[in-house]
């Protein structure tokens, strides 16, 4: 055997026996590194006589590539081993039993919003959203509440300071930013973006500087909007009746429409729902005028004011429709029997596990929008 053959056999044996990737890397440097033994041999080629180089050149090149190939193959083997080991250690045993106590639940507000989306989707409504940080124009002006409109005072608005340093409010009308006080600005945004005809509900968070057992600084509303060519109050009443019957899952829901005032609707109606006394509890359903019955104010609505339609860029002589707004938390309290709104946002796990829903309890019209697992 020539020296080169011997060298090759030695190198390949050592590579084959390298215990791990680090040892292999050390061998690579030993043979093929800048100062490596094989690299050193390669350098001698330059000094050889041409005839000798013709013989030695292919031999040395063969040695170098055989060594490099062996190192690469061994390296790949180490990598595969490592991957196999990782896959083996990271196995997930899907046969493990679920925890005894369910972890987490769907908040009643989320559940009710899903119920609303389900009910209104069946009536051809889609779900629209808008920003919670809103500008004055969308929140007020375009809803027919000009700068000096007294209705603005009722909203206890959180305004943003113009800039943190000077601590002053931006008083430029329309560009001043605020936390939206209602979901009604989504009416404007949806009309501007999609035009008419349109049928949407817009559920979401709203903010007012107010706090007691029935008011929290953040709460939830759902806005409804229908604009088309010949929509009238009858459509509004039928839609609300159909919605409330489906939501409360009772056929005997009776509505009373009372004349009211909102700047963004004309005429405006306040909607009351009949309730009856059942063992000292007020249960929705039945004619509120019957003995032992009463009316509960539930939501605001009306025919969209012509000025609002014009603000949204549509011709009020061509388009008309209705809108309504209702508190989602209030709907949840009435349906599921909570009495303190503040508990909704305390994050108390006892409350959440009592009033929360299973994620599997998806509201569907066929299975009942409020079915509890
Ligand atoms: N935006 C009103 C509020 O927050 C609720 C409301 C009343 C919305 C009447 C409407 C409506 O769309 O027509 O108090």
Q: What is the mean pLDDT of each run of 10 residues along the chain (373 residues)?
A: 84 94 94 92 90 91 94 95 91 80 86 96 96 95 89 84 61 77 98 97 96 89 98 97 96 96 97 92 92 94 98 97 97 92 92 91 80 49
Helix (H, G, I), strand (E, B) or coil at 299: strand
Is residue 368 in a domain? no
pTM to 2 decimal places: 0.72
Report the C-alpha gap between 185 and 30 in whole angstroms.
73
Is residue 369 in a domain? no
Report the C-alpha gap between 108 and 224 in whole angstroms.
20
Tell which of 61, 89, 117 closes a domain.
Answer: 89
Residue with tokens 């049928």: 199
What CATH number is associated with residue 193? 3.30.930.10
Which of 138, 145, 182, 331, when mutated, tests ligand 1's pocket best, judged by the most ligand atoms within 8 Å of its CB? 182
* Number of domains observed in the structure of the chain: 2
Does residue 71 contact residue 15 with C-beta atoms inside 8 Å?
Answer: yes
Does the beta carbon of 140 lie inside 6 Å of ligand 1?
A: no
Query: Could you list the residue range(s) of the whole structural domain that residue 208 is in?
Result: 108-355
Is residue 345 in a domain? yes
Q: Do residues 235 and 206 share a domain? A: yes
Q: Do residues 114 and 168 share a domain? A: yes
Minimal-distance CA residue to ligand 1 atom 4:
182
Q: Do residues 72 and 115 share a domain? A: no
Tell which of 57, 89, 121 closes a domain.
Answer: 89
Q: Do residues 280 and 202 share a domain? A: yes
**Rg (alpha carbons) of the chain, rounded to whole number:** 37
Count CB atoms within 10 A of the CB of residue 303.
19
pLDDT of residue 61: 92
Q: Do residues 227 and 304 share a domain? A: yes
Q: Do residues 50 and 176 share a domain? A: no
Helix 3-17 to helix 37-44 angle (10° resolution) is 150
Q: Do residues 209 and 310 share a domain? A: yes
Does the beta carbon of 216 lie inside 6 Å of ligand 1?
A: no
Q: Do residues 150 and 241 share a domain? A: yes
Does the beta carbon of 184 lie inside 6 Å of ligand 1?
A: yes
Q: Do residues 177 and 129 share a domain? A: yes
**Burial (Cβ within 10 Å: 0-12, 13-18, ≥19) of residue 99:** exposed
Across the chain, the runs of DSSP E, i.e. the strands, are 126-127, 133-135, 161-163, 168-169, 177-179, 198-207, 218-228, 255-262, 265-278, 281-284, 293-304, 320-327
Minimal-distance CA residue to ligand 1 atom 5:
325
pLDDT of residue 70: 95
Atom from ligand 1 closest to the CA of residue 181: 4
Residue with tokens 């090759």: 8
Residue 56 neighbours by CB under 8 Å, 6+ apart: 45, 48
What single string gives the DSSP state of each residue in 66-114? HHHHHHHHHHHHHHHHHHHHHHHHT---TTSPPPSSPP--B-HHHHHHH
Minimal-distance CA residue to ligand 1 atom 2:
325
Q: Do residues 217 and 189 share a domain? A: yes
Tell which of 26, 55, 89 closes a domain.
Answer: 89
Is residue 97 in a domain? no
pLDDT of residue 240: 97
Atom from ligand 1 closest to the CA of residue 225: 12
Atom from ligand 1 closest to the CA of residue 182: 4
Helix (H, G, I), strand (E, B) or coil at 205: strand
Is residue 364 in a domain? no
Helix (H, G, I), strand (E, B) or coil at 346: coil
Q: Rounded to the nearest 5°, which phi and psi values hold at 197?
A: -70, 155
Ligand 1 centre to CA of 222 (Å) is 9
pLDDT of residue 170: 58
Is residue 312 in a domain? yes
Which of 222, 258, 325, 327, when mutated, tests ligand 1's pocket best, judged by the most ligand atoms within 8 Å of its CB? 325
Which of 262, 271, 308, when mutated, tests ligand 1's pocket best, judged by the most ligand atoms within 8 Å of its CB? 262
Minimal-distance CA residue to ligand 1 atom 7:
300
Is residue 17 in a domain? yes
> Which has the closest alpha carbon to 157: 165, 48, 138, 167?
138
pLDDT of residue 364: 85
| 266 marked among binding-site residues | yes
Q: Do residues 54 and 183 share a domain? A: no
Q: Rounded to the nearest 5°, which phi and psi values hold at 220?
A: -125, 140
Is residue 302 in a domain? yes
Does residue 50 contact residue 57 with C-beta atoms inside 8 Å?
Answer: no
Q: Do residues 120 and 85 share a domain? A: no
């Amino acid at each position: 055997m020539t020296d080169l053959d011997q060298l090759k056999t030695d190198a390949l044996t050592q590579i084959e026996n390298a215990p791990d990737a680090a040892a292999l890397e050390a061998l690579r440097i030993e043979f093929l590194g800048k100062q490596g033994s094989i690299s050193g041999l390669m350098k001698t080629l330059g000094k050889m006589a041409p005839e000798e180089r013709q013989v030695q050149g292919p031999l040395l090149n063969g040695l170098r590539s055989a060594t490099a190939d062996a190192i690469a193959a061994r390296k790949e083997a180490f990598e595969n081993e490592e991957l196999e080991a990782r896959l083996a250690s990271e196995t997930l045993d899907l046969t493990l039993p679920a925890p005894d106590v369910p972890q987490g639940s769907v908040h009643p507000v989320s559940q009710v919003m899903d119920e609303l989306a389900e009910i209104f989707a069946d009536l051809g409504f889609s779900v629209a959203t808008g920003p919670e940080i809103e500008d004055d124009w969308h929140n007020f002006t375009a809803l027919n509440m000009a700068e000096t409109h007294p209705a603005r005072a009722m909203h206890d608005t959180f305004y943003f300071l113009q800039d943190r340093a000077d601590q002053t409010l931006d008083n430029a009308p329309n560009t001043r930013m605020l936390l939206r006080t209602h979901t009604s600005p989504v009416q404007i945004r949806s009309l501007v973006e999609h035009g008419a005809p349109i049928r949407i509900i817009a559920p979401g968070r709203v903010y007012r500087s107010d706090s007691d057992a029935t008011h929290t600084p953040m709460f939830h509303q759902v806005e409804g909007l229908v604009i088309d060519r010949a929509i009238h109050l009858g459509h509004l009443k039928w839609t609300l009746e159909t919605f409330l019957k489906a939501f409360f899952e009772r056929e005997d829901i009776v509505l009373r429409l009372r004349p009211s005032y909102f700047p963004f609707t004309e005429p405006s109606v306040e909607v009351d729902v009949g309730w009856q006394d059942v063992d000292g509890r007020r249960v929705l359903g039945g004619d509120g005028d019957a003995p032992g019955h009463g009316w509960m104010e539930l939501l605001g609505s009306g025919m969209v004011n012509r000025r609002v339609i014009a603000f949204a860029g549509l011709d009020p002589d061509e388009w008309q429709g209705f809108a309504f707004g209702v508190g989602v938390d209030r709907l949840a309290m009435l349906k599921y029997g909570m009495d303190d709104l503040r508990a909704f946002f305390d994050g108390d796990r006892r409350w959440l596990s009592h009033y929360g829903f299973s994620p599997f309890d998806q509201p569907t019209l066929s299975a009942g929008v409020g079915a509890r697992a």
